[in-house]
Structure formats: structure tokens, C-alpha cells
Amino acid sequence: MRLSQFYLPTLKETPKEAEIASHRLMLRAGMIRQSSAGIYTWLPLGHRVLRRIEQIVREEQDRAGAQEMLMPTIQPADVWRKSGRYDDYGPEMLRIIDRHERELLYGPTNEELLTEVFAATVRSYRDLPKMLYHIQWKFRDEVRPRFGVMRGREFLMKDCYSFDLDYEGAVRSYNKMFVSYLRAFARMGLKAIPMEAATGPIGGDLSHEFIVLAPTGESEVFCDSEFLSFDALAQEPDYDDDAAISAIRDRFTSLYARTDEKHVGEEFEQQVPEARRYQGRGIEVGQVFYFGTKYSKPMGAEVVGPDGKSIAVEMGSYGIGVSRLVGAIIEASHDDGGIIWPDAVAPFDVALINLRAGDDACDDACVRAYGKLRAAGLDVLYDDRDDRPGVKFADADLIGLPWRLIIGPRGLKEDKVELKRRDGTVAVEVSLEAAIDRLITAAGGPD
């Protein structure tokens, strides 16, 4: 993409409503624009990141054996009456009346809708287990939206639902999702710690929240800091091997990690050496629940078992805040100059900066690099603007692409270009060809 043609409305000054780094940087980098309280338009740059995060989540869900589908955003009130949550959910639910006076709502979550479909279509225990998910916009009419996309009213969520014949099966599904989450967050460059959590209005009795430690988080958390050294990508999980999957969950729940609702001071002090006690804020980026037959019973989601008797299916639900993750990643990875994207979620792989747009030698070298990198499958944002170069560097810092290839007339005389990592780990001057090779090699590595 040529920056001269890209729709990227960056801001030099910070809009006053943005208090925390991720919100400020997302507005300044031209990723989002606020539409109304807690509701945002995703501009091309932000949309690219959103899609990349979504894709990682999708790949890890598929890999764990979940199947993607798509449910509507608008739901009929009736299914919520059946589960008993129409009244329970309260004013957070956005209720809508259509022209025929029918009661509808903008879905805050999808347990009811999917359970209804499932109940209508599945008859036999032979059809279990199943894990079904979708990635869809949700709406919760928060009293006080804040922190940009971290606590929006409209937000993109991946929600998965598992259906099993018995408790043991439900736990197997729970564990698969647990491992899938560990992998997904790790691939995005996040240290997300699974913490024992309260189950809230969804109900249930087995639940973990996946928390990214950050001072701007909204959750108060307590955990063993040893978790930060765990590597969720160290081994390839075999999702057909229940024991192996269970072992991974055991390892990632072996140390103390709880949200404030579950926290017990004495146990924390007993189980965690003082030097490793982390007590602070965290951002919830995902949550997994087991809730048994809470929805399957009232909604009649039953199957006929091997003995010919009907059994209500055992369910769990598993959410990832896809849009919230964009903010969480920035909170976890930025500096004074702007965002520092982890490679796997960066909107582009390389910022190609032409220091002297209009100069034949520079233009030629840039176009050559641009073509080769793209041919090798890299996403390149080519800054070909005929401006003061300083502006380009300011924007490049702000947008925070992992690599920066800088081509100017002075270096070109000796066939030298600058190649830099945004995170500061690499800064070299090499020939244009060497720089291109290095970028292509880096892109072929793990994401």
C-alpha cells in the first residue's frame, strides 16, 4: 500500500477524551474514530489489526476442533424469556421494538440463540460432542463506556459454545478451549494468565478469566509472577489426546492466580513466596465457563442417550474480546513515540520510507524494494509522500510497524539503506538487496 493513497487520518495532537495510552494511540494513529459513547468506526489501519487478531483466534479455535458459524446480531426476546434472562439481564441489554411491535434485542451474548438451534436439530448422544463458535458484534449498554475499545458498548467478540453428554465430556471441551486460548494470546505476543474467576450472570461453577497484566486494567488480580515465564507455545498440543490437553491446563493452573472475587489473602501468602506475589491490575481478554445444564434444561436441549433416555446436554461457553484485544495489545506494547506492534498482529509488516520522494534514484530503489517485498508476501506500507521526512518518521513511530526500511539519496550512493526494528532490537545499514533478503527471511519465521 502506498501511503500517499492510503486512508490514514493521523492526528498530531491528542483528542482530549482519550486518557489511556491505547485509546490515545488508536485515535492518533488513525485506527478508529468515535461515533458515539462506546461505539467506534474502524478505519483501514485499525480494521487490519482487528482482522489479524480475529484470524489468529479463528485458526486456534478451528485447530481445537470448534466449528465456525455466524449468528445474527438481532435476536427475538422470546428465547431470552425461555431461559429466564430477559428480565435478569437488566438495562445493559439494548431492547428494540420493530414495526410490528415485536420485541427484539441486540445480542449481548448468544447462549440462548445457539441452544435453541441446537435443541431443534440435535437428537442423539451420537451427535455429541460439538463445539460451535462465531465472531460477531455484540452490544452491551454499559452505564459508563470508557478507555476506547477496551470497554465499548459495541464490541467484536468470539464466543464458542460446547455441548457434551456428561460432566467429564464438558471438562474435556473446557480444557481444549483453555489450551486454545493460551495459544491464541501467546501468538499475539501477549502474556495472558488464566485466573480463577467468578461466573457472573452467565452462571456456572468452573471458570477462568485470561488476564493481561497492565496498570490500566479494570480487574484487580492476584497471582504468582512465575506465570510470566511460562511459554504457551512451547509445545504443539494434540487436541485428540485428552490427557495431554488436561496436563497443559494443570500446568497453567498450578500456581496461584485469582481475580479479586476469588482471592483469599491467607492462601495467597501461603502459596506464593513474597518476592513472586503480583498484586495489581489486569485486562480481561477472555473467559471460559462451564455451566452444565443451566440453559439446556429450560430450553429443552436434550439428546437421547445410549439407554434410550433423554438427557439435558452439558454446556460451556468461551469468549474472547477481539476488539478489546486491540487495545490490550497496545497497552502491553507501546512507548512514548507510539505503538510497537507484535509481528503477528501488525497492520503491515514493513514501513518503507522514501526520504526523497521525487528523486529518481530513491524512487527507483523504493519501487524495487516495494515490489520484491510484496512478491514475497509481505505487507508493505510504502511512504512515498513528498513531504518533510521528519513527518514520515513521526508517523512511522506512531503507527509502530515491526520493520522500517529507510531509503535516502545519501546512503544510496554507497548502496546503503537503513533497516530497523520498531522495538529497537535491530538497527543496521546494509545494501538494498541484503535488507530485502533479511526482511523476507524474517517474515518466513514464526509469527
Partner RNA sequence: CGGGGAGUAGCUCAGCCUGGUAGAGCACCACGUUCGGGACGUGGGGGCCGGAGGUUCGAAUCCUCUCUCCCCGACCA
User: Which of positions 279-308 make contact with RNA (CB under 7 A)?
Assistant: 286-287, 289
Closer CB to RNA, residue 57 or residue 122?
57
Among 113, 311, 395, 439, binds RNA (CB under 7 A): 395
Residue 317 Cβ vs RNA, minimum distance, rounded to whole Å: 7
What torsion, rounded to 10 degrees, do the Cα atoms 234, 239, 243, 248 define? 30
By CB under 7 A, tell whether 263 contacts RNA. no
Q: Do you know the residue count of the chain?
A: 447
Stretch near RNA under the rule CB under 7 A, chosen from 126-134, 245-253, 401-409, 430-438: 401-409
Rounded to 10 degrees, the C-alpha dihedral 427/433/437/438 comes to -10
Between 17 and 62, whose beta carbon lies closer to RNA? 17
Residue 17 interacting with RNA (CB under 7 A): yes
Amino acid at site 10: T
Joined grid coordinates for residue 416: 546503503
| Only segment of 231-239, 354-362, 365-373, 432-440 that touches RNA (CB under 7 A) | 354-362
Binding mask 81-110 for RNA (x = CB under 7 A): ---------------------------xx-
Nearest C-alpha neighbor of 367 from the set 420, 357, 377:
357
Residue pair 132/67 in contact (Cβ under 8 Å)? The answer is: yes
The residue among 312, 308, 309 whose CA lies nearest residue 297 is 312
Stretch that binds RNA, among 14-22, 47-55, 118-126, 186-194 (CB under 7 A): 14-22
Short-list 311, 317, 392, CA closest to 357: 392
What separation in angstroms does the CA of 216 have from each of 38, 62, 257? 17, 32, 19
Pick from 5, 7, 36, 229 the residue near RNA by CB under 7 A.
36
Q: Which position among 77, 82, 389, 440 is part of the footprint of RNA (CB under 7 A)?
A: 389
DSSP 149-163: GGB-SEEEEEEEEEE
Is residue 15 within the footprint of RNA (CB under 7 A)? yes
C-alpha cell at 23: 485509546
Q: What is the CA radius of gyration of the chain?
A: 24
Site string for RNA, 405-424 (x = CB under 7 A): -x-xxxxx-----x-x----
User: Which is nearer to RNA, 279 or 304 (by Cβ)?
Assistant: 279
What minimum distance in Å lies between the beta carbon of 183 and RNA?
A: 18
Nearer CB in complex with RNA: 15/300: 15
- Amino acid identity, residue 419? L
Residue type at 417?
Answer: V
User: What is the Cα–Cα distance from 199 to 174, expressed in whole angstroms?
Assistant: 14
Residues that bind RNA (CB under 7 A): 10-17, 19, 28, 34, 36-38, 108-109, 138, 140, 142-147, 151, 155, 157, 198-202, 218-219, 286-287, 289, 319-321, 324, 355-356, 358, 388-391, 393-395, 398, 406, 408-412, 418, 420
